[in-house]
Amino acid sequence: MGEILQVRVSVETFTIEAARKRWPVLFGLADPDNTIQELPILVDRLHDVLRFGDISQEHKHTLEAGMEAILNALHELQEQLAHRQPALADKASYTLEDELDNLEKNISAL
C-alpha cells in the first residue's frame, strides 16, 4: 500500500435480482419486504429467522441443518478478505453460494 493509494479486497453483490431468482424461498423467509441489497445480509437475516422467527418445526430443522455451513462459509469469506487473499476469498464465495443452493433445495422440498 502506498502513501496515497490504498489496496482493498472486498466483495459486493453483483445483482440482488439474480440472487432473488436463485434463492426465492430463502429470500421469502428472510426478506418478505424486499429490502435486502447484499448477500451477507441475507445470511444474517436467515440466522435471525432460525433463532427468533415464528416458523414451522420442519423449516426450523432444515435451517438448522444448513446454517452452520453457510455461516462458516461467510466467515471464511470475510476472513480471506480481511487478510487480502482474493483467490481464497473467491473460493469461499463459491462455497457460500453452493451452501445457499443446498439450503434452497432442501427448504423448497418441504
Cα distances from 14 to residues 19, 51, 95, in angstroms, run: 9, 28, 17
* In-domain check, residue 38: yes
> What is the DSSP code (8-state) at residue 38?
S
Residues spanned by the domain of 25? 16-108
In the predicted structure, residue 6 carries a pLDDT above the cut 90: no
C-alpha cell at 80: 480471506
84 in Cβ contact with 2 (< 8 Å): no
* In-domain check, residue 64: yes
* In-domain check, residue 8: no
Which residues fall within 8 angstroms of residue 26, CB to CB, at 6 or more apart?
42, 46, 100, 103, 104, 107
Model confidence pLDDT, tens digit, residues 36-94: 999 999 999 999 999 999 999 999 999 999 999 999 999 999 999 999 999 999 999 99
Which residues fall within 8 angstroms of residue 47, CB to CB, at 6 or more apart?
67, 71
Stated pTM of the model: 0.93
91 in Cβ contact with 55 (< 8 Å): no
* In-domain check, residue 3: no
